[in-house]
């Protein structure tokens, strides 16, 4: 602070006050103080009302320096520990942000008070510019969301998912053959497996072995979603009026980028759906969720000639639901299975135990199937650890409070963005034991090898309350059969370079809305000649509905 300002702040003499009044710099400073005071009164109206504890921050900008641009979930967890509070308050550009860091608080707010905490904040970049308004996860709470949610639950409830098992087995057997032929491309194979499963179930589409257009557009749309949702990447999310800036304006590169991403985001729910409609019109289609619903609509609303006359809003609802199933299912499945493979590389003992468990059941003479799902607790433990270790969405999708609320004496204003730090909950030593940063399936088991009921399933990986992912049953089933079959057929170990040196994977993950292991090398080889024979001669399962 300039020296000539300090005396005034301390109650200086008339001489100093006169000097200050004539000094242009002082006038500017006083105008700035007045501006800051007005902003504080207008924007910081929540302060002083008992918000959850957190770092004090700076005027206007708040705590932007307390939250790093990467791996924010760790910073939020550390702040929570520092202030000994399950929920903390962060201030960003005059707007309060509440972060929930414990499972107890998350259940209290998102489940017990779900009617107040099921809304979403405004997603300017993702929804309004890129065009993911069809994605159920980003829809605001309301009638449209309820209708989409209803359709989602009708198709992905546990009773329905059982009927989709043939599609999952078929996709898994394709995955095994791909891993056998080109093991180094395992991440690509995982994406193809996830895409094959959902495209078959949702649309009856049999994907091409390479360069499938439906797989490719979904991958591009997923990339757009990942980039557009990265926290703090786009100022337009903090200042929505910037979306009206002309594309040619300096600094408006985000708008030009959004237009490119919008092409794939908008096309994703349309292309596959139109493919099914065209196939049905020709009478040459594979039964699927889409074809079944379209047939029902045609029966309910025929026109005078007897041909189909579907309600446009019903078709739009169906196309939205199917596209959301695809993009959501692929995220969780690919990330969890990538974590599983990385976990085997990091913990060979876990692989040995898993292989012994599978061999004890199958005798090494067949591939596991869904009839084994209740018989191998260690596979369940591996699945749970893959979901817990590094969750695909560490901070979930933000919630928004609808009305003012008070929780544990803390004031939560209506319209506040609330983040559930699922990563912190899944790394809580009180719940999951010591060294939560390590991949250790044994944390879910009792000494006798059965699942420990006192160690909960990693629910935070799928969200909370009414916003819990409706595709959980499908995702878990697909991950389970893939884990069981990979263990039955392959040894997954550390790779070796040309000089015979072991390549140690870093174990690092991408940092953003969705998280995947950074590219790593490993060795994936068939366990035996018999394992290779099982893969080569696996019966092709009809994956249609």
Residues 36 and 144 in one domain: no
Neighbours of 453 (CB within 10 A): 8
Distance, in Å, from the CA atom of 281 to the CA atom of 274, rounded to the nearest integer, reads 10
Bridge partners of 526? 490
Residues 201 and 335 in one domain: yes
Q: Is residue 370 part of a domain?
A: yes
Q: Positive or negative, the Cα torsion across 125, 131, 137, 140?
A: positive
At 414 the three-state DSSP class reads coil
Residues 35 and 146 in one domain: no
Residues 25 and 145 in one domain: no
Q: Positive or negative, the Cα torsion across 142, 144, 148, 151?
A: positive
C-alpha count within 13 angstroms, C-beta hemisphere, residue 524: 26
Residue 342 has pLDDT above 90, yes or no: yes
Residue 256 has pLDDT above 60, yes or no: yes
Q: What is the pLDDT of residues 481-519, one digit of tens each?
A: 999 999 999 999 999 988 889 999 999 998 888 889 999
What length is written for the chain?
Answer: 545
Q: Is residue 75 part of a domain?
A: no
Residues 25 and 173 in one domain: no
Q: Is residue 66 part of a domain?
A: no
Q: Which residue has the tokens 């099982």?
A: 534
Is residue 469 a known part of a binding site? yes
**More confident site: 332 or 477:** 477
Q: Is residue 409 part of a domain?
A: no
Q: What is the pLDDT of residues 283-304, one digit of tens each?
A: 888 888 899 888 888 777 665 4
431: confidence class by pLDDT, cuts 50, 70, 90: very high
Residues 335 and 465 in one domain: yes
Distance, in Å, from the CA atom of 62 to the CA atom of 95, rounded to the nearest integer, reads 8
Q: Is residue 413 part of a domain?
A: no
CATH no. for residue 482? 1.10.630.10
Q: Is residue 220 part of a domain?
A: yes
Bridge partners of 97? 90, 417
Residue 252 has pLDDT above 90, yes or no: no
Q: Is residue 65 part of a domain?
A: no
Domain count, the chain: 2
Q: What is the pLDDT of residue 153?
A: 83
At 299 the three-state DSSP class reads helix
Residues 488 and 369 in one domain: yes
Residue 45 has pLDDT above 50, yes or no: no
18: confidence class by pLDDT, cuts 50, 70, 90: very low
Q: What is the pLDDT of residue 150?
A: 86
Rounded to the nearest integer, the mean pLDDT of the chain is 85
Q: Is residue 483 part of a domain?
A: yes
Distance, in Å, from the CA atom of 53 to the CA atom of 83, rounded to the nearest integer, reads 7
Q: What is the pLDDT of residue 156?
A: 82
Q: What is the pLDDT of residues 531-542, one digit of tens each?
A: 999 998 876 444
Do residues 535 and 543 make contact, with C-beta atoms less than 8 angstroms apart? no
Q: What is the pLDDT of residue 63?
A: 80
**Single pTM value for the model:** 0.85
Question: Starting at the edge strand that comes first in sequence, how are the strands of the sheet with 417-420 ordered?
Answer: 87-92, 95-100, 417-420, 399-400
Q: Which domain covers residue 441, as residue numbers?
A: 134-393+427-536
Do residues 485 and 342 make contact, with C-beta atoms less than 8 angstroms apart? no
36: confidence class by pLDDT, cuts 50, 70, 90: low
Q: What is the pLDDT of residue 494?
A: 96
Q: Determine whether 122 is exposed, middle or buried from the number of CB atoms within 10 Å of its CB (0-12, 13-18, 19+).
A: middle
């Amino acid at each position: 602070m300039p020296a000539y300002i300090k005396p005034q702040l301390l109650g200086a003499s008339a001489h100093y006050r006169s000097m200050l009044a004539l000094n242009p710099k002082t006038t500017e400073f006083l105008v700035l103080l007045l501006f800051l005071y007005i902003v504080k009164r207008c924007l910081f109206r929540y302060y002083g009302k008992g918000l959850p504890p957190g770092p004090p921050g700076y005027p206007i900008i708040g705590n932007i320096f307390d939250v790093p641009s990467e791996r924010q979930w760790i910073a939020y967890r550390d702040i929570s520990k520092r202030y000994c509070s399950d929920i903390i308050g962060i201030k960003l550009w005059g707007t309060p942000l509440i972060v929930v860091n414990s499972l107890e608080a998350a259940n209290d707010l998102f489940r017990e008070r779900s009617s107040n905490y099921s809304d979403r904040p405004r997603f300017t970049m993702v929804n309004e510019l890129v065009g993911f308004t069809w994605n159920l996860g980003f829809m605001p709470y309301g009638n449209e969301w309820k209708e989409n949610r209803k359709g989602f639950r009708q198709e992905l409830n546990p009773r329905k998912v059982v009927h989709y098992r043939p599609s999952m087995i078929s996709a898994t057997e394709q995955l095994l053959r791909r891993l056998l032929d080109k093991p180094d491309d395992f991440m690509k194979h995982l994406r193809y497996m996830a895409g094959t499963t959902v495209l078959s179930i949702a649309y009856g589409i049999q994907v091409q072995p390479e360069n499938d257009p439906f797989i490719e557009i979904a991958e591009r749309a997923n990339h757009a979603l990942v980039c557009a949702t990265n926290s703090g990447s786009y100022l337009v999310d903090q200042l929505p009026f910037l979306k009206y800036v002309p594309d040619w304006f300096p600094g408006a590169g985000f708008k030009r980028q959004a237009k490119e991403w919008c092409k794939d985001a908008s096309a994703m729910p349309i292309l596959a759906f139109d493919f099914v409609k065209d196939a049905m019109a020709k009478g040459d289609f594979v039964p699927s969720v889409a074809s079944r619903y379209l047939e029902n609509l045609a029966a309910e609303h025929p026109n005078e000639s007897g041909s189909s006359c579907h309600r446009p809003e019903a078709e739009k609802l169906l196309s939205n639901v199917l596209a959301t199933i695809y993009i959501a299912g692929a995220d969780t499945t690919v990330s969890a299975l990538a974590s599983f493979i990385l976990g085997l590389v990091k913990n060979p003992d876990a692989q040995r135990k898993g292989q012994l468990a599978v061999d004890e059941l199958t005798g090494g003479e067949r591939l596991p199937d869904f009839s084994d799902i209740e018989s191998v607790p260690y596979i369940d433990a591996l699945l749970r650890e893959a979901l817990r270790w590094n969750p695909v969405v560490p901070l979930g999708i933000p919630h928004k409070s609808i009305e003012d609320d008070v929780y544990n004496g803390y004031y939560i204003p209506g319209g506040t963005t609330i983040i559930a730090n699922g990563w912190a909950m899944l790394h809580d030593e009180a719940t999951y034991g010591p060294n939560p940063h390590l991949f250790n399936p044994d944390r879910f088991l009792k000494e006798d090898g059965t699942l420990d009921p006192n160690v909960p399933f990693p629910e935070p990986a799928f969200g909370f309350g009414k916003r819990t992912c409706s595709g959980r049953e499908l995702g878990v089933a697909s991950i389970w059969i893939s884990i069981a079959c990979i263990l039955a057929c392959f040894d997954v170990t550390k790779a070796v370079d040309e000089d015979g040196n072991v390549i140690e994977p870093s174990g690092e993950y991408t940092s953003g809305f969705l998280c995947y292991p950074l590219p790593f090398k490993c060795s994936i080889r068939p366990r035996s000649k018999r394992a290779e024979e099982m893969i080569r001669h696996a019966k092709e399962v009809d994956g249609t509905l």
